[in-house]
Amino acid sequence: MIFTVAIDGPAAAGKGTISRAVAERFGFAHLDTGALYRAVGVKGGDPVHAARSLTPADMMREDLRTLEAGQAASRVAVIPEVRAALLEFQRQFARREGGAVLDGRDIGTVICPEAEVKLFVTASAEVRARRRWLELGGDAAPKSLADVLVEVRERDARDMGRADAPLRPASDAVTLDTSELSADEAVAVACAAVKAALARQS
């Protein structure tokens, strides 16, 4: 069975948590496409060469979830040659046998516009900044909540304003605002959408 769930959205909206839960619930393979760009960003050197020579070991680095890696990912993601180098890998993963969940910023619009389910997961910048700040340690974090909010807004502007594959919901995506939802509630909404699409297909 070929069945793709495309989950897009800005940083810290909850798309990673939702994607992993959906993949586990339905037995689908999962790809965090942002990790590809994070790996390219932290690899250093020429970003295009880094994207073309990405290895499984690069995807296992322990520093991929840092705030710095996220900023590096956003910077290299605006380079068309980097996006082209990673495009085919993502498309093949999306249409693999047995179902796949991909989360990123252009899955439903560019990578897999034919996806059977498209979700755009979002939340207010303030909520997302607080989530990221808590991930970094809250009061013990190396950055203040105000600083993290500035970085979240800068990243949003960069991701939404880039010329190549900007962050935006697909025209047929279901928008899921997680600002007021618990993780379990958000996952339940996403799973219901997938279940309905699977029922339509069968």
Does 9 count as an annotated binding residue? yes
Does 13 count as an annotated binding residue? yes
Does 122 count as an annotated binding residue? no
Q: Which two tokens stand for residue 192?
A: 């219901």
Q: Are 152 and 12 in contact (CB under 8 A)?
A: yes
| Cα 160–chain centre separation | 14
Question: Where do the H-state alpha helices sit in the chain?
Answer: 15-26, 33-43, 47-52, 67-76, 80-94, 125-135, 145-161, 183-201
Does 104 count as an annotated binding residue? no
Does 70 count as an annotated binding residue? no
Does 47 count as an annotated binding residue? no
Does 11 count as an annotated binding residue? yes
Q: Are 107 and 33 in contact (CB under 8 A)?
A: yes
Does 17 count as an annotated binding residue? yes
Does 15 count as an annotated binding residue? yes
Indicate the annotated binding residues for ATP.
9-17
Binding residues: 9-17
